[in-house]
Structure formats: C-alpha cells, structure tokens
Structure 1
Amino acid sequence: MPKKRNDAQTVEELRKKTAEDIQKKLPGVKERQDAINENLQRLQEFRDNEPNPLGKGKAKHLAAVTSTHQAVETQQAAMRKILEEVRRAAEMDYRSQMDGDISRRDLMELIKIRGELLPLWISHDSPFPGEYVGAIAPQDGSKLNEGDSVAAFNKDGNWILADIISCHSNSRYECRDVDDDKKKLTVFSRSHLLPLPKWKANPASEKHALFAKNAIVLALYPQTTCFYKGIVHSPPADFRDPYQVAFEDDSYPSGFCPPMPVAQKYVVAFREVAGLTASTAPKKGNKKK
C-alpha cells in the first residue's frame, strides 16, 4: 500500500482552517458554559429552598437536574468536536514533519511534545476507560491500524519507537523506525509490536488505568527512541504529570538509575520476546538510540 504524504502547503492550510474554525466556535463555548452556570445556580437555589428533593417540589427538582445535565452534555459534545479537530491537525502536522527532513534535535522535541499533547480520556459513553487509555492495552493479537504508534522489537533486540505505515494482515505490519533517516520500512509480526496509549488516564478519576508504583514497565528513555526496562517510582498525580521511572542500570548500586520523567504515551507493560529484552538503560557516552 503506498504511503500517504502531506505536503507543507496542505498542512499549513489545515492548521489555518482549524485555528479559524476554533476561533469561530469559542463564543459558543462561553455561551454554553454560561447556560450551565445558570442551571447550576437555579438548582442550588431550589435546594436551598427545598432541602428534601423528594418533597413537594420533587417535579421541579427533577426538571432542574435534567436541564443541568442536558446543558453539560451539550457542552461536552461541542468540546469533543473541537478537540478532535485539534487532534487531526496535530496528527497531520506530525506526519508531515516525519515525512520530511528533520534534525535529531527537532525529532526529540517533536517526540516530547507529542507525548505531552496526548489527549485526556473523558468519560461519556462508558463510565470505565477502555483500550488504549493509559495502562489499559488492547488484547494481544488485536488488529492495529495505519498511523498507530508502537514499540517495535527489532532484530537487534531493542524496543524502538515506530509508526505503522501499512497493514499486510492481522499479523504482519510494515513499520518505520522514527529515528531512521533513510525512512526504511520493516515488516514486524504482531507479537513484536506493543501499541502505545492513545489517551491519558486522569489520576483523579481513572487511577486504576495507570501503572502503580513499583510496576515493571517498558518506557521510552528520555532523549532516545528506545524503550528500556524500568520500574514506576511514582505514577502521575495529575493528568498533566508524567510518570517517574527508574530504569534498570547496573552502573548504580541499586541496579536502577534515579527516576526520570516519561509521558504516559511512552510507558507500556514490560514484555520479553524469546527471553530477550532491551533492559539496560543507555549510559553516558553510549551511542544507542
């Protein structure tokens, strides 16, 4: 399957259109938020006057609750559409940069920003987070999609950051190492691919969707494009926070280096392939990616 390319002009036009569309929608966001606040104020006034919601004012209380709930749902739906527009523009921008010539410094910055901008999962259809939210991975062997970011186990025995370019079948995927200047494509079996999260888990509401303290993980070592074995020193306390991961490193007496920040997007469950794994973190002067 030929790879889709996005030229700079197309990306710039999309970025401009997205910015214009969001600017037009911002007044509507404020209007809907004002409506929510008015509903909440009326609901509070009702409760102040009638503490018993099952009393004689039961019908009015139910109507006030229903009206508030509908206002919130309307605002949520509108915000999801805006966030999806931003996500699509950001994804197209990322693909455009990856298809062009990019310096290693810019690549590291792009990877960092992509991790920080991972969308937050917000409950709407289901009260429970599903696959690809934080630490909740899809089932082994499940189909992956073109454009998905993965940790790929290569022939050198390293877990590398890669993008799926095309799907040959449910078990064979053509991927590109993000740190390959030649942009060569390599075919991986599904068992050698670990899909990365597509949404952040919110510690305030989905703590169970995060790796717990002392969990053994594979995490992207800062300023590299390789995943290494480590333990979670501390999970995110806020949805803006990264994990703090102590990577396995035999140059330290404890066997682990001091904790380092890693975005939720780049932390997955630890896995070995045929008893092999990239377990030792790169040391100073090490030329590993």
Structure 2
Amino acid sequence: MPKGGKHVGKIASKGTSSLSIPGPPSSKPPDVTPSVASVLDELKSVIKQTQEEKEVGEQTLTGINKTHEKVKNEPRVSLYFKQKLQNQYVNALQAAKRELVLLEQCLKKVDEVKVEIGEVQARAAPPSTRNIDDYRSKMHSGLGTMRRGMLMTVLQQYAVEQQVWKGKPGESPPPLCGCVPADEKYRCKPADQVAARVRTEDGEEQWILAEVFSYNSHNHRYCVDDIDEEGHNEQRRYHVSKRRIVPLPRFKADPLTNPEALFRHRQLVLALYPQTTCFYRAIIDSPPKEVAGEYSVLFEDTSYPEGYSPALDVPQRYVLPMRETKKK
C-alpha cells in the first residue's frame, strides 16, 4: 500500500450451551420509528415461538431419559421399546431443527433492527452532508479543510444506507450483490459510482472512486469524473475503456442467509483505503459476520515485513473483485 497516493429473554439450545437473545423493550421508546417497531414486534413473536419449541424439545428429551431408565436393567430391549426410542429420537431431532430455524430468524431480525437504526441515523444527518451534489456545492463555497471530511462522511453514509438483498428461500444472489460480479454485458448508468483505473497527472496508473458521466457504445469507453475535487479548480474527467471499470455492488449481502455472496478469507480484492478515494490491492482477513459489519482487509504494503498492512475495516460497498489491467 503506497504511503503517498493520490489522496491522502434467554433461550437455551439443546445440550449445555445457551444463546442469549435480547428481547424487545416492554414499551416503545419515543424515538423508535414504525419500521423498527414492526421488526421488534416480529422479533418478540419469533422469540416466543422459539421458547415454545425449546419446551417441546426438553419434554421429548425427558421422555427419552425415562425410557432409558425403564430398559437399562432389562437383559434385552423389547421391540416395543426399540420402536418407542426410535420415535422419540426422531421427534427430538425434528424439534431441535425447528428451534435452530427459529434462532436463525431471531438473529436475522436483530440484524434488521441494526440496519433500520443505521438508516434512520443516516437520514437524520444534516441534509448538506447527505449527498455528493451538496458536497460539491460546499466544495466551492470556501470551506477549506472541511472538504475531505465532508466527502468521507457522505461515502460512509452511502455504505450504511446500501440496500440489503432479501431473496426467496433457495434463490441465488443476483449480479452486483456483495462479491457477485456484474454480467458481461452490464452497462453502468450515468451517476453510478465505480472504481476506474486512470492515469493521474504524475503519470501513475491508479484505481480511483469515480462517477459515470456517459458511455460511448461505439468504442465501448466510459467518461467518468473523479469523485474527489479537492485541490483542483475543475473537475477531473477521464475517458477509459470498459475493462478499466469495476462497478460498485448494488446490494449488500447478508452473511447469515447468503455467505456465498461474500469474498472468502485470503481472497485478492480491490478495496477502498480508509479516508481516501483510492482503491488498492488487498486480501480478505475476515468477511463480515453480520449484515451491518465490514470486511477486515490487509492492504499490500512493502514497507511491512509481511508485505501487508495491519488489518483495516472496509464496508461491503467498497470491496470489489480484483481486475488486472495491462498498462498502456
């Protein structure tokens, strides 16, 4: 990683372990939105079902133990007790599977609450820092050192507000969901944010965060604008070929329901270096564990003995498939 780049209730599971799931509050706080309250009500309902299923499972396990007590001193287990034990074990296994499904639903609802709260907080931010257009207007109003900080806030809010893909059971994540690449014929639209490999003013090739201005279908080249205008009187515009563009994902992947749509441990990626608008080669240290979580990545950096920087967190939105390009 170059140092001088362009931009500086408690529910017990079967067995001895237990899982603690926080229940919803007894009364709705005044700042809880209707959408959050709705998810909390659903969570309360699922927790109740889980508790009921847990009790059914415990009763079945008690029955199994009693049956074993009855036959432990018998020289030979009768066909009746064999069949009874078999049915009890089948029922216990089915109850455990149902409880597991309900526990997974509980965890999913907790993640939904986190996402909803994050979106509410993002929408509550001052309007002047909520989108790129407002940021640009501030850029030209003489705010000086506030420029980069405002842009970083906007980019982080985009990551927080990114939609989470919710598919039907068994449905595969679509292109541009998490790590799933775009279709070969996919065409980025104007105003889409992308990673673009451009030649900077000092002649260096670099992956930057850019916004699509237009696409020429005759020569298959994009016209893109550098997202970061700091230090320049005019916006920097580049013309690049399609193979030098990597679109940002449209959806976040849910690690609980679609872990296959996340980059794997040690996988090579392009990742946005924190507090900059440049992408660099990196490897995945660990993928997010929950929908509101971030990737932990190691950036390539020859100044470290291992060849990689310490682990840094990067949102799903800004971790992309690695694309090698030939230098002109």
Shorter-chain TM-score bucket reads 0.5 to 0.7
1:146 aligns with 2:190: yes
CA distance in 2, matches of 1:26, 1:236: 22
* Structure 1 segments (4+ residues) deviating >3 Å: 23-40
2:305 to 253, 268, 274: 253
CA distance in 2, matches of 1:180, 1:141: 31
Deviations 1:97-153 (A, max 9, x none): 244233111111211222232221111497111011000010345211122110000
Structure 1 unaligned regions, length at least 5: 1-22, 41-78, 277-289
Aligned to 2:133: 96
CA distance in 2, matches of 1:129, 1:235: 17
CA distance in 2, matches of 1:114, 1:236: 17
TM-score between both structures, scaled by the size of structure 1? 0.64
Q: CA 1:36–1:98 in structure 2 vs 1: closer, same or farther (change >3 Å)?
A: same
Q: Which amino acid aligns with 1:123?
A: G
CA distance in 1, matches of 2:313, 2:152: 14
Does structure 2 conserve the Cα–Cα contact (< 8 Å) formed by 1:140 and 1:191? no
CA distance in 2, matches of 1:141, 1:207: 25
Q: CA 1:138–1:38 in structure 2 vs 1: closer, same or farther (change >3 Å)?
A: same
Does structure 2 conserve the Cα–Cα contact (< 8 Å) formed by 1:175 and 1:187? yes
1:177 to 212, 226, 231: 226
CA distance in 2, matches of 1:107, 1:214: 30
Identity level (%): 31
1:212 to 260, 264, 269: 264
Aligned to 2:152: 108
Structure 2 unaligned regions, length at least 5: 1-32, 51-111, 140-146
TM-score between both structures, scaled by the size of structure 2? 0.57
TM superposition shift of 1:237: 1.0
Aligned to 1:229: 281
Q: Which amino acid aligns with 2:214?
A: S
Aligned to 1:168: 216
CA distance in 2, matches of 1:36, 1:209: 26
1:122 aligns with 2:162: no
Q: CA 1:255–1:123 in structure 2 vs 1: closer, same or farther (change >3 Å)?
A: same
RMSD (CA atoms)? 4.2
Aligned to 1:159: 207
CA distance in 2, matches of 1:160, 1:195: 12
TM superposition shift of 1:31: 9.3
Does structure 2 conserve the Cα–Cα contact (< 8 Å) formed by 1:141 and 1:190? no
